Amino acid sequence: MDRPDSLRHFLERLNDIRRAHVALQRNETLRFHHVDNDQLVCWSKHAGNAGDAVLCVVNLDPWSSQAGWTWLDLEALGLPGDAKFAVHDLLTDARYEWHGPRNFVELDPRSVPAHVLAIGRGAGA
C-alpha cells in the first residue's frame, strides 16, 4: 500500500466518486455504448430522478494510447439526440463540451487510462 506505484490513491478517488454519484450506486441503469475501437470500452449509469449521469470510457490496452469515436445512446443518458452537453472528468478535473452521440476520446495508460465523466447537471458546468 505504501509503494510509490500503489493504486491506493487512485482507488480512493474512485470510491469517493462512487459515493458522490447516485447513478453509480445502482445497477438497473447500466448501458454499454458503441466505440469504434475494440481496445476501448464505454458504459454509463443514469439516475434520472436524481438528475445524475456518469459515463466511463476505459483503455483496455495497458501499454499503448488508444483513440476512438463513441456512439452514445443519449436517450439512456436523459439527453435529446442532438444535445450539446458538458462533461466533467472526475479523475482529472478536465471539462469538455460534447455535441450529439459521436465524440472523440483518446486515453493513454501511462497518464490517465480512463475517463469517469459526469454529464450535464452533474458535470458542474
Average pLDDT over the chain, rounded to an integer:
89
Average of per-residue pLDDT across 16-42: 91
User: How many whole angstroms separate alpha carbon 102 and alpha carbon 1?
Assistant: 39
For residue range 69-115, list pLDDT tens digits in order. 999 999 888 888 888 999 999 999 999 999 999 999 999 998 889 99
Three-class SS string for the chain? CCCCCCCHHHHHHHHHHHHHCHHHHCCCCCEEEEECCCCEEEEEEEEHHHCEEEEEEEECCCCCCEEEEEECCHHHHCCCCCCEEEEEECCCCCEEEEECCCCEEEEECCCECEEEEEEHHHHCC
pLDDT value, residue 73? 92
Segment 43-71 mean pLDDT: 92
- Give pLDDT, residue 121: 57
Q: Model confidence over 52-61: pLDDT tens digits? A: 899 999 999 9
In one letter, which amino acid is 24? L
Give me the residue label for grid cell 447500466: 30
